[in-house]
Structure 1
Amino acid sequence: MKKFILSLLGGVIIGGIICYIFMNYETSNYVIQDFNGHEEKEVKEWDFMYITQAGFIILGITLLFYFSWGIIEKRMDKDHKM
């Protein structure tokens, strides 16, 4: 359980940093103006493409941490048995 939680935490932190630095996020909000031009209303929308891509990056890094940690544990156990 500890390995899973720490892998997930590392994936979220490292993946979040990678997404913030390398993915060029552009807001999908837009402004609607009244016909008279007096009233403006800002419509906020979620950018599902960005969320999906960021989720895949975070998932990939989480799995990379998890499986790397498992390989390192196996090698350490193998070295200690000798």
Structure 2
Amino acid sequence: MVIELALAGMMQCFIAHKKIVEDDINCFYQCTDTTKEFASTLKEYSCPKVLHVERKPLPFKERDKKANKWTQEQMDKINKPQ
């Protein structure tokens, strides 16, 4: 399965945090190449545990293992209701 996703250019991102904001759930993901992804859905649904992103992973030299976690400040900026 992982080999099929790699051949198709899909990268896996795993759920890191989820937060309910008004009528939505904000889902925060950490990807295998140290990048972060964000998705939002209605409260009636849940965040998928694994998100498949259609893009190439970062090259190894550009990966940042220290800064790959979501910070509270980053999540608060996204979670502000409009």
Give the structure with the higher percent helix.
1
TM-score (norm 2): 0.28
Which is higher, the Rg of structure 1 or of structure 2? 1
Structure number with higher relative contact order (C-alpha < 8 Å, ≥ 6 residues apart): 1
TM-score (norm 1): 0.28
